[in-house]
Amino acid sequence: MSLWKIAWRSIQQRVLASTLTGISMALGVMLVVVVLTAYAVIKQNFNSGRALPYNMIIGAKGGDLQMVLNTVYYLDKPVENLPYTYYEEFLPKSQRKDGRDGEFSDSVEAAIPVCMGDYYRNFRVIGTTPQFFEDVGPPYKIHYAFSAGENFHQDHYFDAVVGAFAAQQAEIHVGSKLKISHGVEGGHIHDQPFTVVGVLAPTGTPVDRGVFINMEGDFRLDGHVGSRKEVTCVLVRTARIPGMENLPEGSAEELRSLINKGTVARAVMPISEITRFFNRFVDPLLMLFLFLAVLIVIVSGIGILVSIYNSMSERKHEIAVMRALGAGRSTVMRIVLFESILLSLGGGLLGWFTAHSLIAIASPWITSQTGLFVQILQSGAIYELILVPGLILLAALVGFLPALAAYRTDVAKALTATP
């Protein structure tokens, strides 16, 4: 009979205490897995936002973070609008009616307008130009492909393109007619439908959750055409410095400074803002959660120590019998350590499976509520591999004291004591 089996029998013998200890360990590990997964989900989803075909966002004066969350991740509420004429200041004379270069056009390679505020079901509707999906090449690390259909044309006002996830969830395909609403639920539904002409291939970015309509059509919707045309923001690819084409920042700093000195708009570098957001808020918060979760695992480990150690007084006789049958000190010590490992690993694996089962069950809901994609095994799973050796180490540490008590058992004394 192996020592593992002997240890397992000992656990079975104290079924209630062992089960409670195992559950406490399971809860600790479950929490660690959930925090690790949350960390991986948030990081992966926010990192996906770094794959942008532009390097600057120009929006109304307000919070930089809100502008990034709204424009890049379609998460926050839209900020105030900019006059359409301000957007035109980024265009060269070839694209303007008045035949002069816009104020900022020299510093800009491309300027893509974006209008927000409408929804199709729970999905953000983004009014823009076909330029949004143009292939811009390196150093920008994004390429939009169509799994069905094609990009909309500038002069087809009521055409739309849908992101892969939105198309799948809302069962949209090429030819679908979409009536968009002002606000998520209960908002006014515009009579004019948009015809889907293209479905994007999955990109793993927030674009997958978007419904993109021709901005010209957006302007023509009932209630949208006010006294003046407006855009929510302008996505800008700044001009590259000759000889340094691979540096997208190019003349960005200069342009940003110029815009921010003005009274109309604010320029934000999205990548820097995302990095700052992560470093200042997300990372410390997740570290705090992880610290708490690890603390719970350690407390569970101490629970195992207390459980086994308390049982040692009643098991002294049992250990003495094993010793009398020929078990060496190191053998009984190993049996107690194995017991601790079985409890820690068993509880830990139970927690791991429970956590991932819960994640699997909750992932559609999380996606629908937050737009974040959750996989059963996130990339954070690599950190979970540390769990197994970590639990064995913890078990060895907490099992050491009771194992030492087993090692030191006075056989003759324990045998003569009443069992």
Q: Is 9 among the residues that bind other proteins (CB under 8 A)? A: yes
Q: Are 76 and 49 in contact (CB under 8 A)?
A: no
Residue 11 CB, shortest distance to other proteins, in Å, is 9
Angle at 121 between CA 115 and CA 126, to 5 degrees: 15
Q: Is 416 among the residues that bind other proteins (CB under 8 A)? A: yes
Close Cβ partners of 75 (under 8 Å, ≥ 6 residues apart): 69, 370, 371
Region from 2-10, 35-43, 101-109, 239-247 binding other proteins, contact rule CB under 8 A:
2-10
Residue 402 CB, shortest distance to other proteins, in Å, is 17
Q: Is 6 among the residues that bind other proteins (CB under 8 A)? A: yes
Q: Is 12 among the residues that bind other proteins (CB under 8 A)? A: yes
CA pair distance 247, 35, nearest whole angstrom: 36
Q: Are 214 and 152 in contact (CB under 8 A)?
A: yes
**Candidate residues 2, 94, 246, 313; the one interacting with other proteins per rule CB under 8 A:** 2
Region from 7-15, 85-93, 219-227, 290-298 binding other proteins, contact rule CB under 8 A:
7-15
Residue 43 CB, shortest distance to other proteins, in Å, is 47
The nearer residue to other proteins, 190 or 334, going by C-beta atoms, is 334
What burial letters (b/e) apply to 37-65, b meaning 16+ CB within 10 Å?
bbbbbbbbbbebbebbbbbbbbbbeeebb
Q: Is 407 among the residues that bind other proteins (CB under 8 A)? A: no
Q: Is 16 among the residues that bind other proteins (CB under 8 A)? A: no
- C-alpha to C-alpha distances, 377 to 38, 351, 383, nearest whole angstrom: 11, 14, 11
**Would you say the C-alpha torsion 283, 287, 290, 292 has a positive or negative sign?**
negative
Taking residues 260 to 299 in sequence order and writing x for each that binds other proteins by CB under 8 A, - otherwise, the string is ----------------------------------------
Region from 9-17, 19-27, 269-277, 338-346 binding other proteins, contact rule CB under 8 A:
9-17
Residue 364 amino acid letter? P
The nearer residue to other proteins, 10 or 48, going by C-beta atoms, is 10
Taking residues 320 to 339 in sequence order and writing x for each that binds other proteins by CB under 8 A, - otherwise, the string is -xxxxxxxxxxx--------
Residue 325 CB, shortest distance to other proteins, in Å, is 5
The nearer residue to other proteins, 9 or 141, going by C-beta atoms, is 9
**Candidate residues 273, 318, 339, 384; the one interacting with other proteins per rule CB under 8 A:** 318
The nearer residue to other proteins, 238 or 311, going by C-beta atoms, is 311
Region from 127-135, 198-206, 217-225, 313-321 binding other proteins, contact rule CB under 8 A:
313-321
Residue 416 CB, shortest distance to other proteins, in Å, is 6
**Candidate residues 13, 85, 147, 257; the one interacting with other proteins per rule CB under 8 A:** 13
Query: What are residue 109's phi and psi, to 5 degrees?
Result: -90, -40
Region from 10-18, 74-82, 107-115, 339-347 binding other proteins, contact rule CB under 8 A:
10-18
Q: Is 408 among the residues that bind other proteins (CB under 8 A)? A: no
Q: Are 331 and 26 in contact (CB under 8 A)?
A: no
Residue 343 CB, shortest distance to other proteins, in Å, is 15
Q: How many residues bind other proteins (CB under 8 A)?
A: 27
Nearest to 37 by CA among 374, 386, 391: 374
The nearer residue to other proteins, 3 or 142, going by C-beta atoms, is 3
CA pair distance 44, 393, nearest whole angstrom: 30
**Candidate residues 62, 317, 375, 407; the one interacting with other proteins per rule CB under 8 A:** 317
Residue 12 CB, shortest distance to other proteins, in Å, is 6
CA pair distance 297, 290, nearest whole angstrom: 11
**Where on the chain is the footprint of other proteins (CB under 8 A)?**
1-3, 6, 9-10, 12-13, 317-318, 321-331, 411-412, 415-416, 418-419
